[in-house]
Amino acid sequence: MDQVSQEEIISLLAKCGRPDLIADFKELLQDHDFEVVSSDSSEDYDENETEAEDIKITCSKKGFYSIID
């Protein structure tokens, strides 16, 4: 589902006075299995570790994540 559709649903729920359903809808949109890790943390860097390549991720219109080579 694209961002415009999501905002339209939230807008309609707000017009109907349903903040409970808005909260439920936003919860469904979150992907709890996907965690963004910041690579800017220099505190966790060990001298023996090598830097990992940056991984590029794309999200389809249906909400599926894919790794780009």
pLDDT, tens digit, 9 for 90 and up, residues 1-17:
788 999 999 999 999 99
pTM: 0.46
pLDDT in tens, 18-32: 999 999 998 888 866
Separation of CA 67 from chain center:
14
Give the angle subtended at the CA of 35 by the CAs of 64 and 56, to the nearest 5°: 60
Distance CA 18, CA 39 (A): 39
